[in-house]
Structure 1
Amino acid sequence: MSLAEANKNLKWDTRMTETKINSGELKKEEMQKHLEQLPDLAHNVEKFTIDGKSSSTEESH
């Protein structure tokens, strides 16, 4: 994989977006539009406490 291809694959990498916005490679509006198009996956979240135990009401096996 070339460096250009690898960089293209990282366009939406959250670790890179601030740098890309600051350098002008990515516009804030483009980023906002991308974020608005992402599906809401909040129902897939598993909450846990700091001790690592699940805080859900379901029993663990």
Structure 2
Amino acid sequence: MSLAQANKNLKYDKRMTENKINAGEMTKEEWQKHLEQLPDLAHNVETFTMDGKNTKDDDNH
């Protein structure tokens, strides 16, 4: 993968967005629009307790 392609893949990387906004490479509006277009994946969440047990499994037993 080229460096240009790697940078393109990182455009919306959460760890990079603040720096990109501060450097003028991305606007806050562009970032917000990207966030609004992301799918809602809340149904894929798996909760767990601090002891590592899955709470869904605990409910079933």
TM-score bin, normalised by smaller chain: 0.7 to 0.9
- 1:26 maps to what in 2? 26
Where does 1:1-61 land on structure 2 (aligned, <5 Å)? 1-56=1-56, 57-58=59-60
Identity of aligned residues (%): 73
Q: CA RMSD in A?
A: 1.2
CA distance in 2, matches of 1:48, 1:25: 38
Bigger relative contact order, structure 1 or 2 (CA pairs below 8 A, ≥6 apart): 2
CA distance in 1, matches of 2:45, 2:60: 14
Q: Secondary structure of the equivalent of 2:14? A: coil
Runs of 5+ unmatched residues, structure 2: none
CA distance in 2, matches of 1:58, 1:4: 49
**TM-score, reference length from structure 1:** 0.86
Q: Which has the higher helix share?
A: 2
What is the Cα deviation at residue 54 of structure 1? 0.7
Number of residue pairs aligned between Structure 1 and Structure 2: 59
Structure 1 residues 58 and 24 mapped into 2: Cα distance closer, same or farther (>3 Å)? farther
